[in-house]
Amino acid sequence: MKLVLFDLDNTLLAGDSDYAWGQFLIDRGIVERTNYEQKNEYFYQQYRQGTLNIQEFLAFQLQTLACHDIKQLDTWHAEFMQQYIFPMMTSDAKAAVDAALASTEYVAIITATNRFVTAPIAAAFGVRHLIATEPEQIDNRYTGKVQGTPCFQQGKITRLHEWLSSLNVRLDQFDESWFYSDSRNDLPLLQQVTHPVAVNPDPTLQQHANQHQWPVLHWQTTTARHDS
């Protein structure tokens, strides 16, 4: 039995969907540019350095979801997919996902980015299972709060076990477990699987992969063809 997990941002995507959603909101005039752009960049640099306060970031990011009804958010997201996400979907990433889907039913994207942003992206890759940070909803409206454990760093392990439990399987039951990621923030989960793979790794992950003889892949940034 085989499990294949993919990180999303800067792994399957040639860019960061969290950061890009913020830029979309700015460019579309939905949020005030100067303050929001500064905070978006501030949190993104924290993430890259491995120092992100996930609760502080989510309070910033999810507040915009709470300010608008879901129908409007979905309309904006469709534009976001066309303008930002499809150009980030690379042929190497699509080929890797297609190969995984052909070899096992246990394929998931696991990402710190919230489900509102990432669910349509997972669908575009053809991946049915998504493990993501869950924005709370009440009466079909986002509250600006998080439901459950954020899917970040050690939280990815927690959320993975919750998902596997819902399928009545355990991680140790898999003969092979693969996780593809670019980020130092994913070292906790990379160390849990039998086959960790660094994809376009940041310097910290590159060093760790070299020390532990993990495979290192450099996926090209050629956009995969998408028929919308």
Positions annotated as catalytic residues are 7, 9
Q: How far apart are CA 115 and CA 96, in angstroms?
A: 22
Q: Which of 158, 164, 162, 208 is nearest to 182 (CA)?
A: 208
Kindly state the helix (H) or strand (E) to which residue 17 belongs, with its residue range: helix 17-27
Whole-angstrom distance, CA of residue 159 vs CA of residue 151:
6
Measuring CA to CA, which residue among 107, 198, 185, 196 is closest to residue 151? Answer: 185
**DSSP-assigned letters across all residues of 47-87:** HHHT---HHHHHHHHHHHHHTS-HHHHHHHHHHHIIIIIGG
What is the end-to-end Cα distance of the chain in Å, rounded?
34
Within the chain, strands assigned E span: 2-6, 106-114, 129-138, 141-147, 176-181, 195-199, 216-217
